[in-house]
Amino acid sequence: MKQFKTESKKLLDLMINSIYTNREIFLRELVSNASDAIDKLSFAALTDPSISVNQDDLAIRVSFDKDARTVTVSDNGIGMTAEELEENLGTIAHSGSEAFKAEHGDAQGDAMDIIGQFGVGFYSSFMVASRVRVVSRAFGSDQAFAWESDGVEGYTIEPAAAGERDGADDHGTDVILYLRESTEAEDTDRYLSEWGLRDLIRRYSNYVRHPIQMMVTKSEPVANPDELPDDAPRYVEHQELETVNSMTPIWKKRASEVEQDDYDEFYKSTFHDYTAPARTISFHAEGALSYDALLFIPGEAPFDLYSKDYEKGLALYSSNVLIQEKCADLLPDYYNFVRGIVDSPDVHLNISRETLQQNAQLRAIAKRVERKIKSELATMLADDREAYEKFFENFGRGLKFGIYNTYGMNAGELADLLLFYSAKEQKMVTLREYVQAMPEGLDKILYAAGDSRERLEKLPAVTGAVKRGYDVLLCTQDVDEFMFQAMRTYHMDAVAGDAETPGVDAREVELANVSTADLDLATEEEKTAAEQATKDHEDLFGAMAEVLGDKVSAVRVSANLTDAPASIGTEGPISLEMERVMQQGPDAGMAPKAHRVLEINANHPVFEKLVAAKAADDQDKLALYASLLYDQALLVEGLPVDDPVEFAKNVCALM
């Protein structure tokens, strides 16, 4: 027996025991080697006129033997001589494909489409097999050789036994895996079944260019059921050789060649979704870095999208072979809902994730993927508002988190994709639409945040603003206000004008919570009047602030109020809604509080009552009024009163 080299032993041990957790990929590796071997033979036939092969006969065959516990992957490709068996399989991580490519130059690389650089491909067999026998006969040779190993110490190479590839022209390779017993960690029994193997082929090698054939059991209804006795079987079974893989990848086709129905079916079966995708994006690149990509925006959000277990990523193929089911590096987090496939013969990958992340080709593809998704969404927003609103309902929250999580850094990318409910328009609007409809005198985007649209609509600050002709965005998702704080401003891009419509200049517009105490929506006159009133009634407001204690930082007249007698505004960066959201979080105890200001409407009849109470020096009445005004303002905001018993008592006292 020949010994594996020490490094090989170490590597083998490492791989079998740790690197791959996903053991079922062994089949993909063997199938891709078989496909390479066929490519090599086709290539030889192309370049050497003395070699003639019938391309139609070239195929990969997968079979199993339940009793012997073997799975065999065969090909009638180029095969290996004894020396090649030694060289290729004797040294782990030796890449024969690479040597072949180097020898023949890269010029024909495309015709060959050889998949190399997958490192330890063949050796992955030992993850599921305790012994592997490779019987191979090189094209043009009349002797087959057998390589055999337990993947631990070493291997043997001997002439193959009688019956092993000894027919006329029986070139090619059989890789026979003697499967380990099933364990809890790895169910190897499933590889000893038609469905088990078929499932693996479909999942990992469906788009290998050569046919992958399997003997399958078919059952057919009998021809003459009426003439048979009642208990006779109505179906007969027979074995049939079937090509299990689809061979032509749908993503290689141009969108114009494919019916949407076919995309939909492909999407549904590949990504296990009942609903057809909302959008299909197909694009291709040629040149130094060539690839095909097919992306889908789902019609519905997967149930686990917002859970910790959700894994984003696109399937990554290299030359039709699945490298990674979910390559996370291809998608930014905020587009985590996108499903799809990228296939590039140019991404050279090793099995470890680190190499993936550092891969420059992959980064270039990821960049284009991101741009494509954005422009598709922008198109959808412009062309099919209804569909976009549905999309946004499903996935908008993720886009908002994309801005919030990066401290607003992605705002430029994402802000124009956001929709908010407009209090004035009573429908969803974009920030751009808001800014373009902004009336004279307003230089901020106003929003109100809370848990229900109905309640927000009735907030004094909102009704006040709307009455003045200003729009307010009603935000009901927990992330909204945090996102706005991260953004601080909305940058509206310029739009070039044309003969009919004038252009729009770029603008930077501040975002402001409409309940913010220092917001000036009022006219200069109103503001001066409010300031004056605050000054004139300094004593009154001082007395009220004293009654309310540390619940409020100030009591003052607000020019913003129109109908309501009073409202709670805030000073500083924390709004009431943010306070509420943070109170529900894990650090509730440490969460910062909003600085509340009790704002009084000096034009409301209630104000006169306050003034009268102060004038009469009726301390009790003033305390009662102050507490009641504060509590009812809290209730209007949708916040609990601090002391419900006290509140109830105060109401009774008033009556």
Contact positions vs ligand ADP (CB under 6 A) = 33-34, 37, 75, 77-78, 80, 88-89, 95-97, 116, 118, 121-123, 173
C-beta of 25 vs 544, nearer to ligand ADP: 25
C-beta of 114 vs 578, nearer to ligand ADP: 114
Coil/strand/helix, residue 479: coil
Q: What DSSP line would sit under 542-608, residue for residue?
A: HHHHHHHGGG-SEEEE-SS-SS-SEEEEEESS--HHHHHHHHHSTTGGGPPPPEEEEEE-TTSHHHH
By C-alpha distance, which of 322, 262, 321 is closest to 296? 262
Nearest approach, Cβ of residue 99 and ligand ADP (Å): 8
Cross-strand pairs, 146: 135, 158
Coil/strand/helix, residue 424: coil
Nearest approach, Cβ of residue 216 and ligand ADP (Å): 22
Nearest approach, Cβ of residue 80 and ligand ADP (Å): 5
Nearest approach, Cβ of residue 241 and ligand ADP (Å): 19
C-beta of 116 vs 340, nearer to ligand ADP: 116
Nearest approach, Cβ of residue 365 and ligand ADP (Å): 22
Phi, psi of 445 (to 5 degrees): -90, 120
What distance in Å separates the CA atoms of residue 353 and residue 357, rounded to the nearest whole number?
6
What distance in Å separates the CA atoms of residue 157 and residue 176, rounded to the nearest whole number?
14
Judging by DSSP bridges, how do beta strands 145-149 and 154-159 pair with one another? antiparallel
Residue number of the CB atom closest to ligand ADP: 96
Nearest approach, Cβ of residue 97 and ligand ADP (Å): 4
Helix (H) or strand (E) run with residue 213 in it: strand 212-221
Nearest approach, Cβ of residue 136 and ligand ADP (Å): 6
Helix axes 605-615, 538-548, angle to 10 degrees: 90
C-beta of 37 vs 474, nearer to ligand ADP: 37
By C-alpha distance, which of 280, 336, 329 is closest to 306? 336
CB-based burial label for 271 (10 Å; 0-12, 13-18, 19+)? middle
C-beta of 76 vs 560, nearer to ligand ADP: 76
Nearest approach, Cβ of residue 95 and ligand ADP (Å): 4
Nearest approach, Cβ of residue 172 and ligand ADP (Å): 7
For the record, the structure tokens of 575 come out as 């709004």
What distance in Å separates the CA atoms of residue 588 and residue 585, rounded to the nearest whole number?
5
Distance from chain centroid for Cα 497: 36
C-beta of 138 vs 244, nearer to ligand ADP: 138
Burial 639-652 (b: 16+ CB within 10 A, else e): bebeeeeebeebee
Nearest approach, Cβ of residue 203 and ligand ADP (Å): 19
Cross-strand pairs, 213: 61, 243
C-beta of 83 vs 393, nearer to ligand ADP: 83
Nearest approach, Cβ of residue 319 and ligand ADP (Å): 12
Judging by DSSP bridges, how do beta strands 473-475 and 444-449 pair with one another? parallel
Q: What DSSP line would sit under 357-409, residue for residue?
A: HT-HHHHHHHHHHHHHHHHHHHHHHHH-HHHHHHHHHHHHHHHHHHHHTTTTT
Nearest approach, Cβ of residue 175 and ligand ADP (Å): 6
C-beta of 95 vs 553, nearer to ligand ADP: 95
C-beta of 137 vs 397, nearer to ligand ADP: 137
CB-based burial label for 182 (10 Å; 0-12, 13-18, 19+)? middle
Distance from chain centroid for Cα 576: 32
Q: Are 523 and 444 in contact (CB under 8 A)?
A: no
C-beta of 99 vs 236, nearer to ligand ADP: 99
What distance in Å separates the CA atoms of residue 585 and residue 577, rounded to the nearest whole number?
13
C-beta of 45 vs 574, nearer to ligand ADP: 45
Nearest approach, Cβ of residue 81 and ligand ADP (Å): 10
Helix (H) or strand (E) run with residue 321 in it: strand 321-327
By C-alpha distance, which of 254, 493, 282, 301 is closest to 373? 282
Burial 219-232 (b: 16+ CB within 10 A, else e): eeeeeeeeeeeeee
Nearest approach, Cβ of residue 32 and ligand ADP (Å): 7
Nearest approach, Cβ of residue 180 and ligand ADP (Å): 20
C-beta of 122 vs 204, nearer to ligand ADP: 122
Nearest approach, Cβ of residue 115 and ligand ADP (Å): 7
Q: Are 212 and 245 in contact (CB under 8 A)?
A: yes
C-beta of 141 vs 603, nearer to ligand ADP: 141
What distance in Å separates the CA atoms of residue 296 and residue 268, rounded to the nearest whole number?
10
C-beta of 41 vs 465, nearer to ligand ADP: 41
Q: Are 352 and 417 in contact (CB under 8 A)?
A: no
C-beta of 77 vs 298, nearer to ligand ADP: 77
C-beta of 280 vs 318, nearer to ligand ADP: 318
